[in-house]
A and B are shown apart, each in its own frame.
Chain A
Amino acid sequence: MNQILEKTDKTSESFDVRKIVVAVDLSKHSKTTAAYAAEFAKSFGASITLVHAFAPEPITEFTTEEVHERYEADLRASERDLRKFAEAVRETYPDCDFEFRVGDPAEQVTLVAKDLDADLIITASHHPGFLGRLFGMDQAPRILHRTQCPVLVYHEGKDSV
């Protein structure tokens, strides 16, 4: 008995990439990741949701009003950047939404994927060095360990597209 045939028959019914969550850090490389995700979504007729997570405010006893205001301004600017970014993506791929979150990037991306019942998460990897990996600067492996949803890791800076 062909187990693959049996499994692909079952998978065929459920295999559908309809919702894609795309994690972006709004760095200059995000444009390439979003372009790849848009092409990917187009191939499957899926929607994309761009997710950016802003780091939470560091609260210490030395936090002043000025520091708090600067944090709030940065947060608003980041949200504006994400909105603009999503508008630019919509010019070429209209089925694009965005979600701005505050918190740990890997946690927030997986939460959005769960909330939206996403079929795929696309994230980029920067190929950090040993120290970068040690300090968890690359979010891709952290996302991999937190979600049950398939994760596509696109290597920024590589000539994949």
Chain B
Amino acid sequence: MNVIENTDNGGQTAVGNGLNIRRIIVAVDLSPHSEKTAAYGAEFAKKVGAAVILLHVFPPEPSTEFASEQLYESFEQGRRLWAWKLIELAEQIRQTGVECDHDFRVGDPAEQVARAAKDLHADLVIASSHYPGFLGRFLGMDQAPRIVQRTSCPVLIFHEGGE
């Protein structure tokens, strides 16, 4: 059994890393902990010479029969605020010398991360986990396992607060 057989990808190995990791999606929820995840993603990308795509998924607009114009406006305001925060965080990553783009999506976080990984041909997804309790896990509040289950490329889960 020769393990190297499995790593031979037709001579397409990138300079700097044999894994050919060129594009990394760093999924952030833009909570105060996200800076740690973004910093980890940036350092990782720097080590392997990859570019970062900073991704945030905003929850969809709650559409109920009681949704008023005011509610819609507040949703739009929130969406614009988080989009701006994402742009700002991406800019901060660029200042560290790492090539960084951003992608803002609306929908289910795990589904959108998986879709983005596919659309953008990501070689790796870096996401974080918040250590929810049993109830949090039961109610699906930690997105990490859901991202792992839905994404077809390798996923690196970084434990925020674990460092």
Contacts and interface: CB of A to CB of B under 8 A. Distances in A.
Interface residues of B, number: 47
Interface string A2-16: 111101101110110
Contact of B92 (A2, A38, A148): A2
A40 interface: yes
Given A15-B43, A88-B3, A154 B154 contact: yes
Interface in A10-26: 10-12, 14-15, 17
A116 interface: no
Contacts of B159: 147-150
Interface string A90-118: 01110000000000000000000000000
B9 interface: yes
A15 B152 contact: no
Q: Chain A contact residues (Cβ within 8 angstroms of B): what range? A: 35 or more
B11 interface: no
Contacts of A11: 39-40, 43, 163
B108 to A, nearest CB: 17
Contact of A36 (B5, B17, B19): B19
A43 B30 CA distance: 30
Contacts of B154: 36, 152-155, 160
B43 A12 contact: yes
A127 to B, nearest CB: 7
Interface stretch (A52-60, A72-80, A138-146): A138-146
Interface string A54-68: 000000000000000
A42 interface: yes
B149 A125 contact: yes
A144 B6 contact: no
Contact of A15 (B5, B16, B47, B137): B47
Contacts of A34: 3
Contacts of B92: 2-5
